[in-house]
Amino acid sequence: MSAQLSPRPRNTSHATPRPGSPNRGDSARARLTVAPEVARRRLRARLLMWAAALVTVASLFTLVAFHVFAAQSAFTLERLSKERTNEQLRYERLREQVASLSSAETVIAAAAKLGMVQGGTVVSLSLPSARPAALPPGKPPVDSPGSSYGKAKSALDAAP
Amino acid sequence: MRRLGVCSALLILGFGALAARVGQLQLASGAKYKDLSVELALHTVPLTAQRGSVFDRNGRDLAMSIEKTTVYADPTLVTDPVAEAARLAPVLHADEHALLQRLSDKGSAGSPRHFVYLAHTIDDGVARLVQALKLPGIGFVPESARSYPAGAVAASVIGRVRSDGPGLDGVERQYDRLLSGKPGELVVEQDPLGHDIPNTQRTRVDAQRGTDVVLSLDEDLQWQAEYSLLDQVKATGARSGMAVVLDVTNGDVLAMASVRGATATAAAGVAGPGDNNAPLTDLFEPGSTNKLITLSWALEHGRVAADTKFAVPDSIRVDPHVAPYRDAEPHRGAPDGIEHWTTADILRESSNVGTIKIAQRMRNQEVADGMRAFGLGEPTTIDWPYQPAGLLLSPSRYYATGKYSTAIGYGVAVTGMQMLDAFATIANGGATRPPHLLDATIDAKGARHSAVVPAGSRVVSTHTASVMTQMLEGVVASGTGACAAIPSYVDAGKTGTAKKALATGGYGDVATMASFIGFAPADHPRFATLVVLDENNLSYGGEVAAPVFSEITQFALQQYGVDPTDLTNTQYSAARATAAAAGASCALPHGSDLVAAQARLQARQARAQSPGAVAAKPAAVAGGVTSVPAGSTAGAGTTADSLPPDPSKHT
């Protein structure tokens, strides 16, 4: 490899004049151009090749890293999704529990467990006969059981 | 050297043949085998859409779906069905033989069976146990399970669903299309043992959740209606009962209760999810509550006024060939047995004869038009599966008695909701307020859409409605509906006690439909309430249904903060005096009082079954029965709405 890369001597007339050869003068020298340096060119090629290799390796590494991160994110996403589902489930179960515990049936059952008993028949108490304040004097009490409802109704309209 | 050459040639040939075969498989038939492999590995699992919830008007859950685990099997992957069935049966609490049949059902060679359900919506603990078994061919999918957190409250309204989703009854059936949503599917790649292969092809089309349904029901009021009705059904030994509370101002059905009475095998209880929602499905003859329609229509068309006087005997014969119509009680107050009653008095006393006298002023078509105008003969505006339209006689078939029977609520079959709708029309000033059960829907994105409420129409004038309301107030204050009075409020309503038609034709003397329909407060009506008790041991609507009306409506008035309209208890005191004079207790027993009432009922029933009572009964029946020819409604109109202390006076 090194043999291939080492600069090879070239047979060129544009190289340094040989000793003993006639000096062609400045005009002739002015036409001479410096040939591209083989070593430099080869170095550039080598650098390019290294760079390409580096880019390839880096790309591969990036790709692998990206894949790893993507896979990791997928796992995170899946975990979050599962968590979301679980929380949703938990919410629904709690909602059901709240609805169930606050239902009349459960409340009554809990009350009975605590020793409470159902109330008996509801009895409404009426105040004794009294004249409503808004009634004009002279009118009979409106809530006497014997009074006609028609009369009572007309009095009721004037009551507070 | 030559041997080496031969060996090399053979090796080359061998490898060449292999390479050719691989080339053939990969290049020529590659696509085919790839498809085959994918087909074998991919499994499609249906994803059931979560069913929408059912809420009451306050957002409380009446029905909801919770995701649970459903176990399925791919029989083609089950290696040992017998062993797997034996291990699964005790965990799933399922029949081992049934499981074995499902696990062994591999389908045909042409269409192998890849999916059979083993257990739907199991508890999480059970699911974990099954997963721990790690059986080949057994898989799990999430599936919605229906839960009814309010228990039996409104069960017959909400209905139920089949295990695989569709609604069977009630709201679950009526709004099934909305509630059920759109199913999805999950395509997964599985190994030969049925386990999901990670990081492989997986397609998921999410199921779309169903729409939530918000009902106009109020859970608390619904419970109160069921509680009051159930205790009265128990106390009176009724066969069944129904109650409905309607918000007159907007047509919202706030409570709709159905109760079934005790049978030889079961105690009385609130109707369950599979039972009829009686107010919308059960037909009955309304009896005297139908007089509201007859009198309203007569008032509206100027046939009578509230103070028009009639000479009302206690019986009237409309055709010489049929038995006379009678009032419930003989007119003992008048010396000649003929009362001189106004239209208001006729309604207050629930006089059949008086109502027939009013109907005599109306044409046949007029009576029929009145029934139609108040909504009889067609289903109500409530969306309900199989809601009957009811039965109305055509005026052309009234013959001699049809008009009069219809006028007093016989020969007419209605649902409870239809009758309540008629009363709500009067409460609403003479215009209908179409009742509805659906308040709103909430879509999968959470947007609420109010239900479209049909517009009402005018049936009678506000004047007629106002006059009718005053007359109905009188029914409560000093008439047959005294037990319906509510402390601190003025209410209005009408009793009904209709004899039930016999299967053999005509009407018996025992079975009745006792009802009370009314509204409160009478001046600015907010709630209209119906209570009906079926076959309640000969008690009258005013005695058994009116107290239930009073208790339920009082609860509604207080719950919704309606201002009292009768602080001096004028109507209530007058009504109590009327009830006391008639010997009616107006009691709706609860707790220990209910136990005592049930004991009294049993004792009474035992006395009735004793030989002496049996001998006495025919005489009592003979005095009051109106025999009619089979299939005829003539002479049926012996409604009985007064408050006799002794039910045996019922005629």
Q: Domain locations in chain B? A: 45-55+64-151+181-210, 219-649
Search chain B and give the residue with CA nearest A145. Answer: B574
> What is the secondary structure of B24-60 as a DSSP string?
IIIIISHHHHHHHHHHHHEEEEEEPPPPPPEE-TTS-
Among B433, B422, B522, which Cα is nearest to B471's? B522
Cα separation, B597 vs B235, in Å, equals 6
Q: Is B525 exposed, middle or buried (0-12, 13-18, 19+ CB in 10 A)?
A: buried
- The interface predicted TM-score (ipTM) is 0.71
Chain B positions touching A78 (Cβ under 8 A) are none
- Inter-CA distances, B605 with A154, B502, B602, Å: 45, 22, 5
Query: Which stretch of A32-41, A131-140, B129-138, B299-308 has the lowest confidence by average pLDDT?
Result: A131-140
Q: How far apart are CA B248 and CA B430, in angstroms?
A: 12
pLDDT tops 80 at residue B633? no
Q: Measured between beta carbons, which residues in chain A are less than 8 angstroms from residue B566?
A: 156
Q: What is the pLDDT of residue B462?
A: 97
**What letter does residue B15 receive in the DSSP assignment?**
H
Cβ contact A117–B576 (<8 Å): no
Q: How would residue B587 be classed by pLDDT, with cut points 50, 70 and 90?
A: confident
Q: How many CB atoms lie within 10 A of CB B162?
A: 10
Checking if the pLDDT of B590 tops 80, the result is yes
Question: In the structure, what pLDDT confidence band is assigned to residue A36 with cuts at 50, 70 and 90?
Answer: low
B95: left (phi over 0), alpha (psi -120 to 50) or beta: beta
**What's the average model confidence in pLDDT over A131-155?**
50
Residue among A95, A96, A119 whose CB faces B591 most closely: A119
Contacts of B223 in chain A (CB under 8 A): 104
Segment B456-502, tens digit of pLDDT: 999 999 999 999 999 999 999 999 999 999 999 999 999 999 988 88
Give residue B648's pLDDT.
32
* Ranges A24-28, B295-299, B380-384: which has the least confidence: A24-28
- Tens of pLDDT, residue by residue over B208-225, are 889 999 999 999 999 999
Structure tokens at B131: 């997963």
A120 touches B at CB < 8 Å: yes
Q: How far is A63 from chain B (nearest CA, A)?
A: 18
Overall CATH class of domain B219-649: alpha beta
pLDDT confidence bin for B255, thresholds 50/70/90: very high
Are residues A149 and B147, on separate chains, in Cβ contact within 8 Å? no
- Of the pLDDT bands very low, low, confident and very high (cuts 50, 70, 90), residue A29 is low
**Lowest-pLDDT range of B85-99, B105-119, B294-308, B384-398:** B105-119
CA distances from B74 to B126, B140, B193 (A): 20, 11, 9
Q: By C-alpha distance, which of B627, B521, B503, B535 is closest to B565?
A: B521
pLDDT for position A22:
53
- Residues B469 and B524: their CA atoms lie apart, in Å, by 10
Chain B interface with A: residues with Cβ < 8 Å: 60-61, 64-67, 147, 149-153, 219-220, 223, 227, 470, 473-474, 477-478, 487, 490, 551, 566-574, 576-578, 580, 587-594
Q: Which of B234, B523, B568 to mutate to test the interface with A (most CBs of A within 10 A)?
A: B568
pLDDT above 70 for B275: yes
CA dihedral (B289, B293, B294, B300) positive or negative? positive
Token digits of residue B75: 């029989």
Spell A83-106 as b/e; 16+ CB within 10 A means b. eeeeeeeeebeebbeebbeebbee
The per-residue pLDDT for A128 is 60
Chain B nearest-CA residue for A129: B568
Chain A residues with CB inside 8 Å of B478's CB? 148-149
pLDDT at A28: 56
pLDDT of B334 higher than 90: no
Bigger pLDDT: A131 or B358?
B358
Q: How far is A137 from chain B (nearest CA, A)?
A: 17
Under CATH, what is the fold of the domain B45-55+64-151+181-210?
Answer: Penicillin-binding protein 2a (Domain 2) (3.90.1310)
The rounded percent of chain B whose pLDDT value lies above 90 is 62
- Calpha distance B386→B377 (Å, rounded): 14
The fraction of chain A above a pLDDT of 70, given in percent, is 56
3-state secondary structure of B647: helix
The predicted model gives A107-123 an average pLDDT of: 86
Contact B149 A96 (CB under 8 A): yes
Cβ-defined contact of B590 to A120 (cutoff 8 Å): yes
- Interface size A-B, in CB pairs within 8 Å, comes to 117
Measuring CA to CA, which residue among B285, B279, B283 is closest to residue B170?
B279
pLDDT at residue B419 tops 70: yes
Distance, CA of B383 to CA of B417 (rounded, Å) = 12
Question: Across residues B18-29, what is the average pLDDT?
Answer: 87
